[in-house]
Amino acid sequence: MDSIITQIRTLANGASHDARRKIVDSLRDLAISLEGPEDTYNRMETMFLDAGMAKVALDLKLFDILTANKRPMTTPELAEKTGAAPILLGRLLRCMASSRLVNEVAENTYEASNVSSSLVTPLGQAMTKFSIEIMPPILLAIPDFLKKNGYKDVTDPKNTPLQIAYHTELTSYEYFRTRPEWAHDMILMLKGRREGVPGWLSVYPVQESAEIDPQRPLLVDVGGGAGWQCEELKREHPYLPGRIILQDQAMMLAHVTPTKGIEAMEHDFFTPQPVKGAKYYYMRNIMHNYADEKALQILRHLRDALSDDSLILVDDIVLPDFKAPSRSVKMDMFMMAAHGAIERTEKQWNELFDSAGLKIVQTREYRDILQGCSVTSLQKA
């Protein structure tokens, strides 16, 4: 067994991002396939405990202490640093070590692990807070909601598990606006989870628009958040002519860092598109936030703004019909539970575009943090 584990570690250390993820997913599937009943029961009853322990570690700044110290530390040393009771802290550390949140290197002695090094970052802290404070009430409300709803399709953003979880009649986005303390973490997650992984610019030849009129809008980033895609476009292709316009609601635009060459414009994409005839109208992970009725509203407003050579670029997850990645299908469940929305298969995307009066020009695939993404260019049918 030790030799097999060593071989796998060696293989993973030299693997690409995609290959390493395939190894992780294969080992996870193997572990579950080997479970006996007691293993399954234990996994189910403790599935939220890891996130809870990670939040405790962050509250005590354990990860900061271990990462900064760069050497193993004993439980008494960590108790002195954190102010936690030594006996309690010893129990917590044993539990954390069992999930690799920290490494147990000797009796009552611990060091930072690869997991704690990931979670100590601002993004890791935001993800932990999201995983323990925001997501569980919504996900745990799914069974009762589906039973009460007669197991019908979930397409109404005002009738989802979120309304049960948070005792509200508001949609998810309306409710999130009442919780400004969540905004910072959500923006960190939207930006940070895809840093350092391939994106749409790695596959889409936007540089072919080098002859565009400098006064014409090159790209309108529709619902573009704090402008990360606009910034990446400027960074990757600084000499491309044409205007770059970032559109979103005021709450998101408040987090935009002013950048030369990027125009910020307040806009609700459920209303007519004010910028006409841009070369590209780009949307990243917008459509998956909405069921078909709302998604069609957005697409039709963009269709009405197109000139003869304009294109809509839809950058989103595409679920395969067989053996969809675990991350993607779990995202589908969260989008359903929180927003009454859906991750779509290729067939579902095609039906949506056709209903909006649009035809596909081309689709270019790439693999990011959720796997199975593509950027699809559309024009009027």
Alpha carbons 3 and 156: distance in angstroms, whole number: 53
User: Quick one: average pLDDT of 43-53?
Assistant: 91
The pair phi, psi for residue 248, each rounded to 5°, is: -170, 180
Report the relative pairing of strands 262-266 and 243-248 from DSSP bridges: parallel
Band (371; pLDDT cuts 50, 70, 90): low
Model confidence band, residue 338 (pLDDT cutoffs 50, 70, 90): very high
Instruction: Tell me the Ramachandran region of residue 290: left when phi exceeds 0, alpha when psi lies from -120 to 50, beta otherwise.
Output: beta
- Which band of pLDDT confidence, cut at 50, 70 and 90, is reported for residue 362? very high
The per-residue pLDDT for range 263-322, each reduced to its tens digit, is: 999 999 999 999 999 999 999 999 999 999 999 999 999 999 999 999 999 999 999 999
Q: Which of 303, 312, 307, 346 is nearest to 328 (CA)?
A: 346
pLDDT at 21: 81
The pLDDT of residue 186 is 83
Residue type, 68: A
148 or 16, greater pLDDT: 148
Q: How is residue 65 written in tokens? A: 């202490």
- Output the pLDDT for position 151: 98
Which pTM was predicted? 0.89
Terminus-to-terminus CA distance in the chain, angstroms?
59
What mean pLDDT is predicted for residues 148-167? Answer: 97
Is pLDDT of 243 > 90? Answer: yes
3-state secondary structure of 156: coil
Spatial distance between the Cα atoms of 162 and 138, rounded to a whole number of angstroms: 5
Please determine, for residue 370, whether its predicted confidence score (pLDDT) is greater than 70.
Answer: no
pLDDT of residue 163: 97
Structure tokens at 76: 């008494």
Average pLDDT, the chain: 92
pLDDT of residue 159: 97
Q: What is the pLDDT of residue 85?
A: 98
pLDDT at 368 over 60: no
Helix, strand, coil content of the chain in percent (nearest 5): 50, 15, 30
User: String of b and e for 52-77 (b: at least 16 CB within 10 Å)?
Assistant: ebbbbbbebebbbbbbeeeebbebee
**CB atoms inside a 10 Å sphere around CB 283:** 24
Q: How far, in Å, CA of 76 to CA of 84, rounded? A: 10
Q: Both tokens of residue 374?
A: 């593509």
CB-neighbour burial class of residue 3 (10 A; exposed 0-12, middle 13-18, buried 19+): exposed
CA 323 to chain centre: 20
pLDDT of residue 115: 95
* Per-residue model confidence as pLDDT tens digits over 107-125: 999 999 999 999 999 889 9
Rounded to whole angstroms, how far apart are CA atoms 57 and 82? 10
Structure tokens given for 327? 């991350």
| pLDDT at residue 105 greater than cutoff 90 | yes
**Neighbouring residues of 106: CB distance < 8 A, sequence distance ≥ 6:** 72
Most trustworthy range by pLDDT among 32-36, 181-185, 193-197: 32-36
Q: Measured in whole angstroms, how far is the alpha carbon of residue 152 from the centre of its chain?
A: 26
Q: How many CB atoms lie within 10 A of CB 374?
A: 20
Quick one: pLDDT at residue 194?
65
pLDDT at 381: 87
Residue 195 has pLDDT above 70, yes or no: no
Order of strands across the sheet with 102-106? Answer: 73-74, 109-112, 102-106
Tell me the CA distances in angstroms from 348 to 21, 62, 207, 284, 292, one per residue in order: 27, 46, 30, 17, 10
pLDDT score of 234: 94
Asked whether 245 and 217 are in contact (CB, 8 A), the reply is: yes
61-87 average pLDDT score = 96
Which pLDDT value is given to residue 15? Answer: 82
Q: Is the Cβ–Cβ distance between 63 and 112 less than 8 Å?
A: yes
Q: Where residue 193 falls among pLDDT bands split at 50, 70, 90?
A: low
pLDDT band at 323 (very low <50, low <70, confident <90, very high): confident
Average pLDDT over residues 198-213: 87
